[in-house]
Amino acid sequence: MADKTRSQKLKRLVAVQRHLEQMAEFDLAETSRQRAEVNDQMDSVILALGSMDPVHHAFSQGYADRFNRLGIKDKQLTGMQQIHEMRVIQERAKGDRLEDGMREALESERREADDNAVYDLIDQKFGTPASSKLQKS
């Protein structure tokens, strides 16, 4: 494990961060779905309250109470949705920063490998004073 490069470690962190981002997006989608359900239920209650059917008039107080409870639930879900939206943005930003760091580390590793290859070529072609002294001994 210790022989992994910095870019490989960052690549793994990027994968984990992207998974966290997907989880946050799922939470946001689920909250949005719940809000849509609540809004549909509120529409149904409004239709029942506005109905001219005498059966609905008998339950008007129950409908009004239900509408109030749904309104409270919608406000709670709206707050949760805003929190999830912020979390998605934060997780995405973290992932982007990690990905940028991974690219920089990869580029640095490539430059270092290229530099080392050039140094190896120079050493092979001209030999270094230290290596020539070792050969004479």
DSSP state of 59: T
Domain holding 19, by residue range, is 6-108
In a domain, 128, yes or no: no
In a domain, 86, yes or no: yes
In a domain, 97, yes or no: yes
Task: Give how many domains the chain has, as a whole number.
Answer: 1
Alpha-carbon span 130 to 27, nearest angstrom: 63
Global pTM?
Answer: 0.74
Alpha-carbon span 132 to 34, nearest angstrom: 76
Long-range contacts of 109-117 (CB under 8 A, 24+ apart): 109/5, 109/6, 109/7
In a domain, 82, yes or no: yes
In a domain, 93, yes or no: yes
In a domain, 79, yes or no: yes
In a domain, 1, yes or no: no
Which stretches of the chain are DSSP H helices?
6-49, 54-58, 60-126, 129-136
pLDDT tens, position by position, for the chain (137 residues)?
457 899 999 999 999 999 999 999 999 999 999 999 999 999 999 999 888 888 878 888 999 999 999 999 999 999 999 999 999 999 999 999 999 999 999 999 999 999 999 998 888 888 765 554 445 54
What are phi and psi for residue 3, nearest 5 degrees?
Answer: -85, 5
In a domain, 80, yes or no: yes
C-alpha distances out from residue 132 to 83, 108, 115, Å: 67, 31, 22
